[in-house]
Structure 1
């Protein structure tokens, strides 16, 4: 074999090894991406109104004395047993929404500062503290949707919030 044949054989071998390594890397990456995407899926569905209601006594809940206040509570018969946020919008209006992240079903943290949004501790999604709407998507990829809401009415005389389940 002459030098030209050896050089040609080396180039072909090098090209073969490069392509084999690239193909193996592609297969490994595709598997990783598929598992990452699968792990970001959630089967949680928005609650559907059942025609039933639950009541929540606002009186005595310090955080809800003024508009802008928010609490996180688990209320029997509401949100499939998961916690909800109750946010006072005005003296006579409240918003009630799930505090379960729609990205991966983590419990969203209640904000400690009135200027802060609600933040998912698992992936960093942020939600409005007044209506549960998505403000920013997860930093890990995937997609969060608005937190499911529950219609409610407030009776200022009895200080009771009636929430549709």
Structure 2
């Protein structure tokens, strides 16, 4: 290796002469171990706007309980219940996991987004192989959009008072 390698072939032959193992990027990918507690559950925290959800999932019949109430009672709007089902539909695990969640802060829309985020993270902890599918669907990214603060001299965050010429 004293002489300078002029091409990729020279470099490969020099590596073979030095008996250094050449590792390709496509070889065995390291798959993470599942993070499951002593009760057989996976835990994750989901966030959206000002809402924070603590989510536990375990194998079951697909029952979702939020703050001690069924999802149909807590999230009355069908759109919010659809949001909770999206990670399971994307991962093709509908009615295979029971979900228990506690949510604080924010409104119902933010809370549904937080529970969805928590479900997605908990699924990746229970089955690490699902990470790619959920990541591609955008479920593992925390939606960082929050309400902008009100500025002084303004009616709202950006809205000014009505201009009067006279």
TM-score range, shorter-chain basis?
under 0.3
Q: Going by fraction, where is helix more abundant, 1 or 2? A: 2
Q: Going by fraction, where is strand more abundant, 1 or 2? A: 1
- Bigger radius of gyration, 1 or 2? 1
Greater RCO structure (CA 8 Å; 6+ sep): 2
TM-score by length of 1: 0.26
